[in-house]
Every structure is written in C-alpha cells, then in structure tokens.
C-alpha cells in the first residue's frame, strides 16, 4: 500500500510540474496579447487557467499522498512552513515554499474580481520565483531527481519556460509593440 | 427685483445695472467693498427660494460643459434624499483653470473672491452640505486665503491648491486631487452628484458659476435674465488673447456677438483671420463669421460652444494649421496617459496635423486625420480625446482652403513673409 | 411589456485600466473591434456611447464572459436604472 502511495506521490509531483510548465508558457503567450493558430486569445487565457487548476490538483494529490505515506515523514505543518522537515529538510522546504506561493497565486486568481487587478497582478509575478524553486525541489528531493529520464524531462520544461521568458522581456513581445513604440505608458 | 422665499433674505442693496456685475465692487475688492456694492447675503439653510430662482435664471455652468446649474443641484439633492445611509453633500468651487488661454477665473478670484465664497456658501446651504472646498490654481491662493480670513462664516471651507495641468480642472480629477492628491480623472459609472468625494454626493461648480449664484441669491432669476437671452441668460466672463494682444478679461452679456466683444476689447477685426472659441477643446470661427453670437445656440451649427469663454485670436499673418498643430501637440503632451486611445491617439493626431501644416503630405493625410479624430471620440475616462478631436475637425473645416494649399505644397500665410 | 425587450444594460470600459489585449473583441465581435493600438472600439452606436456600449439581451452571456476574462478587469456590466 505505502509503495503505491510513494509511487503516486512521485508521479503526481512530476505531473504537477509538467502542467505548471505548460500553464506558465500559456500565461506568457496570453500576456503578449497574441492568438495562436486556431486558438483565439480568450481560449489561450482559459486553457492557461484550466491547466493551472489541473496542475494545482496534482500538487494537492502530491502533498496529500506524501502526508499519508509513513515513509515520507511529512507532517501537515511541513506543507505550510518550510525547512522543518526531518527528511532532506532543505529540498523539502523548497517544495513547501513553492506550494505556499502557488496557494497565494491560486487564491488571488480565484478572487481577483474582489481583490482587484493590482493585487492579482502583483501576486501573479511570484510565478517567476515559484517555478524555478519547484524545479530545484523536484531534482533535489525526488527519488528519481537525478535520473536521466527525469533530467531530460526537466531540461525540456526548463527550455520552454526560459525561452518564453526571454521572449517576454524582448522588445517585440507585445502584439501591439510596433504600433505603440515611442509612447511610454 | 429681489429674491424671496426661505432660500435667501430680501436684499436692500440695489442690483448692479448693465453688464458689469461680477466686477461691480471694483479692483481687489475686500469684504467691506463687496458688501457695500452687493449688500450682505444672509445664508439660510435649504428652502425652495434659491432653488426656484436658479431655475428661473437659467444659469448654466461656466467651466466648459455648460450644464444647467439648477439641474446639477437637483441631482445632488436627489442623491442625498435617495440614500439608505445618510451622507451629507460636498460642494467644491473649481478654480483650477487648466485652460492656457483663460485667465477669467484667476481674475475673478483676485477681484471678487467674496462673490465666489458667497455662492459656495449659498449652494452648500441649498444642498445641506457640511463641507466645502475651494480648489484653486497656485496664483489665486493668496487672494483667497486673505478673503477667507476676512470673514467668519468660512470655517468649513478648505482651500486646496490645484496642479497646473490642462486636465486638473476636470470634475473627477478635482475630486481625485482633493481626496487622494492625484489630479487625474477617474473612471466613473455614476455621476459625481451621486457619489463623489469620499462617496458623498458632490457638486463641482466653476468659480464663475458660483459668483453668479451669489448674485442670483441676492437679486433673483429675473434680474439675472435681464442680460443675455434664452439659454444664454446673464453675463459671462471671456478671456481675449492671441494675435499679439494683451490678455484681457471682459464681462459680456450672454447675447454678445464675437465681433462686439473684440471691439470692446479694443481689437480691430481687420487684424484677425479666425478666432478659436471656447478654449483648446474649442472651435475655430473664421473672420467672415465673427458676427455670430457667443452663445450655445448660435455656436451649435459650428459644433462649438462658449465653453470657458476663451476667445483666442489668429492674426492675419499666422497659419491656423500650424497653430492648431502646436495646440494639438500640447494637448497630446497633456494627456494624463491613463487611457490608451488618448495616449496613442492624440500623439498620432498631433503628428498628422504637424505633417499637414508642414506642407509635406498628400490628400490622404486629411482623410486620415478626420478618421483618426472621429475614432477617438468617447474613448477616454474624460473628454480630453473628444475635445482634441473636435479642435482638429474644426481646423480642417475652417481652414479647408489652407489645407488644400498646404497639401499642394505651399502655405498661403507664412510663405508670404 | 414588449418595451422591456430592449436591454438597458451597458458594457462599461474603464479606459484607465484597459490594456488593449483584445479578448473582449473576440468574445463580442459584433459589438467591439480594435484600433491600431489594440484598444477596443464600439462598432455601432453613437460615438458618445463608446465607453458604455448598449448590450442587446442576447449578447449578455458573451459580454459576461468578456467581463470575467478581461485580464485587467477593465470591463463591467452596468445595469442602467
Ligand atoms: S482621456 Fe486622456 S486625459 Fe482623460 S483621463 Fe484618459 S488619459 Fe487622461
Ligand atoms: S479584454 Fe480588457 S484589456 Fe483587453 S481590450 Fe478588452 S477591455 Fe481592454
């Protein structure tokens, strides 16, 4: 039984990372204001949101299974307060930090109409801290963290997010960049 | 003719005769000169008296939009009585005068500050307001501070300094400046009279409007109507400037012709080729049409209105297109930059006008300027894009033959020099 | 009442927030287009109603989606009283 929990805990963590990666990339595309072939802007926005929700579900499963798993030595407090764990406290703590950040991002997103766009946007920026922390956690904490296949998976995710981020800060990122050039906002 | 009813107490002093009303107390009038001229105004709370006289007077706002003063006051009173949780109203006297070609408000605040204060107090009493603000450009602060100190009924008036930007006098910007110190217009889905300063029913009146209220409270609506005509009853202040003339403020009857006003200002119409009426958001009236009356009704066919009473003259040897281009550039720079169509659209519109004025361009430019101008109307949180587009549109039609000449490569005016 | 058929709601654009991302123009393409800088522009009605665009009742759902999906919360539906 606990073998199964252990396995599921790992797989759900990897799934969560995969979906968060996709969501980050889609979020960046949404921010550019550009549609994709066959995907209007509002669809990208919706998929970005839905994939993020899916990723969060896997994240919750990841955390819950490892709390239930006696081998993982994960207490409820460790899911919220980082670096208290008994097993690889530093690497596990990074996971906790990422989890807390995601919690903040998800809550402010769900309630953004009441919280206002300013707070929503500010907290959404945490994503750029959350994602690399989650990746480092997966490598350092995961049983297969240094496994070749897993590293390949992480590299693919990393290349996607890093290249999307480079595009994000480039001058021609916005769909309307050219038309708006020359006037600061 | 005196006002009766509970709004005001009948006044023994005789009303000013002729069109000099607001400056009847003379230059730099202090409180005693003010009371000698106009008599004391007993402020009585609420009551239908002043309200009815304002209705009868037909007074319209003198800040630019020209909205009925009685209607605006009604809206605020309605909002006070409609509320589930009572909140008393706020009245703001707006003397920001961001319009570069207008000095009538600062002139009024310097010479007749007590009329403005009387009007503010009377309006506040009418709507049951507990707080009053005097929002004024830096240059008028001194005069206002000493005027407020001269009398004892001004304790609930707060003096606030306005920013010297074009849009600082826009009503929602005034409220934003007083509440948050940010003199920028805000997005609104309800009127300020419903929810303005700290969510209270808020009246923002131009200072000249309030000075007229002070006189109507004393002498009544019928007296007010003894000058002017119809919807343009009473007198209005105008600022004449441009074409090398010294800036001058005049008080003119509501049915005065532009040519008569210029004559009264000592300007020979023969040196003028056009007049920008209303301000930088205004309308060009060509020299041939200067016999038009400076009134809402008479200017409507030109798409114009008296606005803030600005008459900016274009000299015979000046190019109306170049002047309009530089005004448009100024207005683009003065965009608060909050709203995309205003930020990008006015900049593009100014560039188009500059290209037309420079004489390097083709007929496509004029069509493009017309199209762009039209596309900006109604797409900002204030009327800055609308006003700027209106100015450009009026220049393109008032100077149509000049546009033609420019587009075929020569300016008919400046090239002559 | 047949007169009640005519919707009294408007789609309000807060221009101080709108960043011209264009989602709304996709969701109510019959009501909104985009200008050269990407900002929405009402396709019908008088120019003075371009910040408060009258909503036909059959476009209510699409407009509600636009309000929910605008990335900067620049839209709201205001029921005229
Ligand atoms: S329309 Fe222009 S001036 Fe008015 S609030 Fe928007 S950006 Fe500012
Ligand atoms: S979706 Fe929002 S930000 Fe995008 S254009 Fe429409 S109102 Fe503006």
Mean per-residue pLDDT of chain C:
89
Q: Do B374 and C47 touch (CB under 8 A)?
A: yes
Q: What is the pLDDT of residue B174?
A: 96
Rounded to a whole number, what is the largest CA-CA distance in chain C?
43
Q: What is the pLDDT of residue B114?
A: 96
- For an interface test with C, the pick among A47, A49, A116, A117 (most C C-beta atoms closer than 10 Å) comes out as A117
Which residue has the CA at smallest separation from atom 1 of ligand 1?
Answer: B380
This prediction has a pTM of 0.90
Q: What is the pLDDT of residue B401?
A: 80
**Residue B368 pLDDT > 90, yes or no?**
yes
| Domain's final residue, options B202, B226, B250 | B226
| B41 and B179 both lie in a single domain | yes
Rounded to a whole number, what is the largest CA-CA distance in chain A?
63
Contacts 24+ apart (CB under 8 A), A144-149: A144/A10
User: CA of A135 to nearest chain C CA: how many angstroms apart?
Assistant: 27
Contacts of C35 in chain B (CB under 8 A): 341, 345, 375
Minimum mean pLDDT range among A113-122, B271-280, C42-51: C42-51
Q: Do B340 and A179 touch (CB under 8 A)?
A: no
**Residue C16 pLDDT > 70, yes or no?**
yes
**Residue B1 pLDDT > 60, yes or no?**
no
Q: What is the mean pLDDT of residues B67-81?
A: 92
Among chain A, residues having any CB pair with chain B shorter than 8 Å are 179-180, 182-185
From the CB of C75, is ligand 2 less than 6 Å away? Answer: yes
Extended strands (E) in B289-376: 310-315
Lookup result for tokens 């929700």: A53
CA proximity to B330, closest of B121, B148, B98, B151: B98
> Structurally, how many domains does chain B consist of?
3
User: With pLDDT > 90 as the criterion, what percentage of chain B qualifies?
Assistant: 73
Q: How confident is the model at residue B47 (pLDDT cuts 50, 70, 90)?
A: low
Q: What is the mean pLDDT of residues A71-77?
A: 81
Retrieve residue A55's tokens. 């990723």
CA distance B371 to B363: 13
What are the two backbone dihedrals, phi and then psi, of residue B43, each rounded to the nearest 5 degrees? -90, 120
| Domain's final residue, options B205, B226, B247 | B226
CA distance B171 to B384: 12
Please indicate, yes or no, if residue B240 is contained in any of the structural domains: yes
Paired with C11 in beta bridges are: C53, C77
User: With pLDDT > 70 as the criterion, what percentage of chain A qualifies?
Assistant: 98
**Residue A175 pLDDT > 80, yes or no?**
yes
Q: Which residues contact B226 (CB under 8 A, 6 or more apart)?
A: none
Q: What is the pLDDT of residue B417?
A: 35
Q: How confident is the model at residue B412 (pLDDT cuts 50, 70, 90)?
A: low
Please indicate, yes or no, if residue B7 is contained in any of the structural domains: no
Minimum mean pLDDT range among A79-88, B118-127, B303-312: A79-88
Please indicate, yes or no, if residue B245 is contained in any of the structural domains: yes
Please report, for the domain that includes residue B366, its CATH number. 1.20.1440.230
- For an interface test with A, the pick among C21, C25, C27, C36 (most A C-beta atoms closer than 10 Å) comes out as C21
CA distance B379 to B382: 8
Retrieve residue A160's tokens. 């996607």
Please report, for the domain that includes residue B304, its CATH number. 3.10.20.600
Q: What is the dihedral of CA B268, B270, B272, B273, to 10 degrees?
A: 160
Residue pair B112/B29 in contact by the 8 Å Cβ criterion: yes
Rg over CA atoms, chain B: 22
Distance between start and end Cα atoms, chain A: 58
Among chain A, residues having any CB pair with chain C shorter than 8 Å are 30-31, 33, 35, 40-42, 45-46, 112-113, 116-117, 120-121, 175-176, 179-180
From the CB of C41, is ligand 2 less than 6 Å away? Answer: no
Q: What is the pLDDT of residue C3?
A: 41
pLDDT tens track for B28-37: 999 999 999 9
Among chain C, residues having any CB pair with chain A shorter than 8 Å are 17, 20-23, 26-27, 36-38, 65, 68-69, 71-73
Q: Do B347 and A183 touch (CB under 8 A)?
A: yes
Please report, for the domain that includes residue B190, its CATH number. 3.40.50.11540
Contacts 24+ apart (CB under 8 A), B406-412: B406/B321, B406/B356, B406/B357, B406/B358, B406/B359, B406/B361, B407/B356, B407/B359, B407/B361, B407/B362, B407/B363, B407/B365, B407/B366, B409/B359, B410/B359, B411/B319, B411/B321, B411/B322, B411/B357, B411/B359
Please indicate, yes or no, if residue B20 is contained in any of the structural domains: no
* DSSP β-ladder status, B272-277 and B310-315: antiparallel
pLDDT tens track for B227-256: 988 778 899 999 999 988 889 999 999 999
Q: What is the dihedral of CA B121, B122, B123, B126, to 10 degrees?
A: 120
Q: What is the pLDDT of residue C26?
A: 95
C9-79 architecture in CATH? 2-Layer Sandwich (3.30)
Q: Which residues contact B285 (CB under 8 A, 6 or more apart)?
A: B258, B274, B275, B276, B277, B292, B299, B302, B304, B398
Minimum mean pLDDT range among A174-183, B122-131, B180-189, B326-335: A174-183
Q: How confident is the model at residue C6 (pLDDT cuts 50, 70, 90)?
A: low
**Position with higher pLDDT, A121 vs A88:** A121
C57 Cα to the center of ligand 2, angstroms: 21
Contacts of C37 in chain A (CB under 8 A): 176, 179-180
From the CB of C72, is ligand 2 less than 6 Å away? Answer: yes
| B212 and B121 both lie in a single domain | yes
Mean per-residue pLDDT of chain A:
91
Neighbors of chain C with 3 or more C-beta pairs under 8 Å: A, B
User: With pLDDT > 70 as the criterion, what percentage of chain B qualifies?
Assistant: 94
**Residue B12 pLDDT > 60, yes or no?**
no
| B328 and B283 both lie in a single domain | no
> Quick one: which atom of ligand 2 is closest to the CA of C22?
5
B172 Cα to the center of ligand 1, angstroms: 11
CA distance B65 to B382: 12
| B222 and B252 both lie in a single domain | no
From the CB of C15, is ligand 1 less than 6 Å away? Answer: yes
> Quick one: which atom of ligand 1 is closest to the CA of B170?
4
Phi-psi region of A29 (alpha: psi -120 to 50; beta: other; left: phi over 0): alpha
CA proximity to B339, closest of B185, B181, B166, B176: B185
**Position with higher pLDDT, B229 vs A139:** A139
| B255 and B152 both lie in a single domain | no
| B99 and B134 both lie in a single domain | yes
Which residue has the CA at smallest separation from atom 2 of ligand 2?
Answer: C70
> Quick one: which atom of ligand 1 is closest to the CA of B343?
7
Among chain B, residues having any CB pair with chain C shorter than 8 Å are 185-187, 189, 338-342, 344-345, 374-375, 377-381, 386
ipTM value? 0.90
Please indicate, yes or no, if residue B19 is contained in any of the structural domains: no
Spell B234-245 as b/e; 16+ CB within 10 A means b.
bbbbbbbbbbeb
| Residue B392 lies in domain | 321-407
Chain C residue with Cα closest to B389 = C47
CA distance A28 to A48: 9
Please indicate, yes or no, if residue B412 is contained in any of the structural domains: no
Residues composing chain A: 185
Q: Do B343 and A179 touch (CB under 8 A)?
A: no
Residues composing chain B: 417
Chain A residue with Cα closest to C62 = A42
Extended strands (E) in chain C: 9-13, 32-34, 40-42, 52-54, 75-79
| B61 and B143 both lie in a single domain | yes
C53 Cα to the center of ligand 1, angstroms: 19
3-state DSSP helix/strand/coil percent for chain A, to nearest 5?
75, 0, 20
CA proximity to B77, closest of B8, B7, B11: B7
Crossing angle (nearest 10°) for helices B138-150 and B104-111: 30
Mean per-residue pLDDT of chain B:
90
Residues composing chain C: 81
Contacts of C15 in chain A (CB under 8 A): none
How far is the CA of B75 from the CAs of B97, B388, C12, in angstroms? 24, 29, 22
Residue pair A115/A133 in contact by the 8 Å Cβ criterion: no
Ligand having the closest approach to the CA of C41: 2
Chain B residue with Cα closest to A182 = B344
| B38 and B178 both lie in a single domain | yes
C23 Cα to the center of ligand 1, angstroms: 22
Q: Do B343 and A185 touch (CB under 8 A)?
A: yes
Q: How confident is the model at residue B383 (pLDDT cuts 50, 70, 90)?
A: very high
Q: Where are the domains of chain C?
A: 9-79
DSSP state of B196: -
Retrieve residue A24's tokens. 């980050």
| B211 and B68 both lie in a single domain | yes
Q: What is the pLDDT of residue A53?
A: 97
Please indicate, yes or no, if residue B382 is contained in any of the structural domains: yes
Neighbors of chain A with 3 or more C-beta pairs under 8 Å: B, C
Retrieve residue B17's tokens. 């005769």
| Domain's final residue, options B200, B226, B252 | B226
Among chain B, residues having any CB pair with chain A shorter than 8 Å are 337, 340, 343-344, 347
Hey, which of C17, C19, C28, C42 would you mutate to test ligand 2's pocket, going by the most ligand atoms within 8 Å of its Cβ?
C19
Q: What is the pLDDT of residue A6?
A: 84
| B257 and B141 both lie in a single domain | no
Q: What is the pLDDT of residue B268?
A: 87
Q: What is the pLDDT of residue B7?
A: 44
| B273 and B154 both lie in a single domain | no
3-state DSSP helix/strand/coil percent for chain B, to nearest 5?
45, 15, 35
Residue pair A8/A148 in contact by the 8 Å Cβ criterion: no
| B341 and B280 both lie in a single domain | no
> Quick one: which atom of ligand 2 is closest to the CA of A33?
4
**Residue B272 pLDDT > 60, yes or no?**
yes
Chain B residue with Cα closest to C49 = B378
From the CB of B388, is ligand 1 less than 6 Å away? Answer: no
B381 Cα to the center of ligand 1, angstroms: 5
DSSP state of B16: P
Phi-psi region of B39 (alpha: psi -120 to 50; beta: other; left: phi over 0): left
> Quick one: which atom of ligand 1 is closest to the CA of C16?
6
Rg over CA atoms, chain A: 18
**Residue B82 pLDDT > 80, yes or no?**
yes
Q: What is the mean pLDDT of residues C13-17?
A: 96
Ligand having the closest approach to the CA of C13: 2
- For an interface test with B, the pick among C9, C12, C15, C38 (most B C-beta atoms closer than 10 Å) comes out as C15
Please indicate, yes or no, if residue B416 is contained in any of the structural domains: no
């Amino acid at each position: 039984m606990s073998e199964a929990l252990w396995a599921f805990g790992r797989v759900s963590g990897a799934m969560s990372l995969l979906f968060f990666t996709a969501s980050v990339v889609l979020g960046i595309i949404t921010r550019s204001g550009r549609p994709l072939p066959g995907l209007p802007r509002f669809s990208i926005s919706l998929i970005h949101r839905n994939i993020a929700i899916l990723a969060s579900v896997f994240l919750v499963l990841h955390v819950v299974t490892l709390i239930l798993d006696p081998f993982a030595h994960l207490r409820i407090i460790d899911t919220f307060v980082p670096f208290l764990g008994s097993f690889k406290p530093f690497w596990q703590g990074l996971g906790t930090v990422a989890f807390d950040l995601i919690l903040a991002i998800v809550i402010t997103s769900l309630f953004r109409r009441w919280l206002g766009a300013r707070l929503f946007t500010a907290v959404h920026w945490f994503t750029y801290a959350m994602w690399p922390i989650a990746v480092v956690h997966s490598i350092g904490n995961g049983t297969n963290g240094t496994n070749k296949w897993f590293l390949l998976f992480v590299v693919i995710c990393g290349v996607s997010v890093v290249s999307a981020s480079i595009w994000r800060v480039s001058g021609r990122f916005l769909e309307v960049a050219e038309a708006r050039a020359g006037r600061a906002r | 003719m005196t006002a009766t009813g509970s709004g005001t107490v009948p006044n023994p002093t005789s009303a000013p005769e002729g069109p000099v009303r607001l400056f009847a107390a003379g230059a730099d009038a202090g409180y005693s000169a003010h009371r000698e001229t106009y008599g004391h105004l007993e402020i009585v709370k609420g009551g239908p008296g002043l309200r009815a006289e304002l209705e009868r007077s037909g007074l319209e706002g003198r800040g630019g939009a020209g909205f009925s003063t009685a209607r605006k006051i009604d809206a605020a009173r309605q909002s006070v009585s409609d509320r589930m949780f009572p909140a008393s109203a706020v009245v703001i006297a707006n003397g920001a005068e961001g319009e570069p070609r207008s000095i009538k408000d600062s002139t009024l605040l310097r010479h007749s500050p007590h009329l403005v204060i009387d009007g503010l107090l009377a309006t506040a009493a009418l709507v049951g307001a507990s707080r009053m603000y005097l929002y004024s450009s830096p240059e008028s602060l001194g005069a206002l501070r000493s005027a407020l100190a001269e009398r004892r009924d001004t304790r609930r008036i707060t003096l606030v300094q306005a920013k010297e930007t074009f849009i600082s006098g826009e009503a929602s910007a005034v409220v934003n400046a007083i509440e948050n110190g940010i003199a920028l217009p805000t997005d609104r889905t309800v009127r300020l009279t419903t929810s303005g300063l700290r969510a209270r029913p808020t009246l923002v009146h131009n200072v000249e409007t309030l000075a007229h209220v002070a006189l109507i409270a004393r002498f009544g609506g019928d007296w007010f109507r003894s000058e002017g005509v119809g919807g343009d009853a009473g007198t209005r202040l105008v600022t004449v400037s441009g074409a090398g003339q010294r800036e001058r403020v005049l008080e003119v009857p509501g049915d005065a012709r532009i040519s008569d006003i210029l004559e009264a200002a000592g300007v020979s119409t023969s040196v003028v080729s056009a007049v920008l009426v209303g301000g930088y958001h205004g309308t060009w009236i060509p020299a041939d049409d200067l016999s038009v009356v400076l009134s809402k009704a008479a200017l409507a066919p030109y798409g114009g209105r008296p606005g803030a009473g600005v008459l900016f003259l274009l000299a015979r040897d000046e190019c109306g297109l170049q002047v309009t281009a530089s005004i448009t550039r100024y207005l683009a720079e003065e965009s608060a930059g909050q709203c995309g169509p205003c930020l990008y659209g006015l900049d593009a519109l100014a560039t188009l006008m500059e290209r037309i004025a420079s004489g390097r361009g083709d007929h496509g430019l004029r069509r493009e300027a017309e199209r762009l101008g039209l596309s900006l109307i109604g797409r900002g949180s204030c009327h800055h894009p609308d006003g700027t587009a209106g100015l450009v549109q009026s220049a393109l039609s008032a100077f149509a033959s000049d546009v033609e000449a420019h587009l075929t490569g020569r300016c008919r005016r400046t090239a002559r020099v | 009442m047949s007169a009640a058929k005519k919707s009294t709601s408007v789609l309000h654009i807060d221009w101080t927030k709108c960043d011209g991302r264009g989602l709304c123009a996709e969701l109510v393409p019959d009501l909104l287009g985009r200008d050269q800088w990407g900002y929405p522009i009402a396709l019908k009605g008088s120019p003075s109603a371009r910040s408060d665009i009258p909503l036909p009742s059959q476009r209510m759902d699409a407009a509600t989606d636009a309000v929910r999906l605008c990335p900067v919360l620049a839209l709201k539906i205001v029921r005229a009283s």
